[in-house]
Structure 1
Amino acid sequence: MKETYIFTYGTLKRGFSNSYFLDDAIFVSSAITCEKYQMYPCIGNGYPFLIKSEKNHQIKGEVFKTNSKIILNRLDDLEAYPDLYLKEFIKVELENKQIVKALVYFKNEETNLNAIDLSNPIFEWVDDFCY
């Protein structure tokens, strides 16, 4: 399997509650999305949703790389793909200004819309329970 970059923006980031899902992946860099999106916490602030249809902010996160199909399958399970999240590749800018295409999970905007806290838009997930 070829190497895959993964852009994380919530609980998969280093030091956060689900970071262990990426224990066997290699941290590459902090990063920011090249395009603008919107992020909201779920009701209860347990994890964020990245919304593709809203173009308000570049989103800060981290990039990892892996060539493990096991890791990618585990991420699909964690993110309840394709019901809760959908995935695609987007361009992100690393700290060294390099642009890479990275896999990211966007909120599936056709399902579970009542799980989104639309009153609290954010552009960076800074704690496991962001407020």
Structure 2
Amino acid sequence: MSNTHKITQDGKLPIGVEVDGVLHRDFTLRPAVVADNIDAITEVGTANSVALNAAVFARQLVKLGTLTPKQIDYNLVASMHVADFDELDRRALELQKKLLLGGADSNGGSSSEQPSPATESHRTTP
């Protein structure tokens, strides 16, 4: 496993996702890898960038509340409120910055730096 999987970003969804009567808000993201993008494209195609981002987020989410990894899928992420999706996007950008800075503060934290054009180009928020 690569070193990128040791760096994570924790966060809390502003609204949360309800599954079986339980609201899930606390999450942990890992960095996206090329395989995540390939698998996401295979799953949803490239015509809709929001759907593609949702499919990638489903793969990046290491934890969402008490859900099992099998419960965290494209359909779950696609059903999120826009504010929750935007929070995942914001945290994923922070995670990308951490990787570029060499992994400072291995989880949590934030930065006021702007994303690079390469990072910006693969994310589109609704």
Query: TM (normalized to structure 1)?
Result: 0.30
Higher helix share: 2
TM-score normalised by structure 2 residue count: 0.31
Name whichever structure is richer in strand by fraction.
Answer: 1
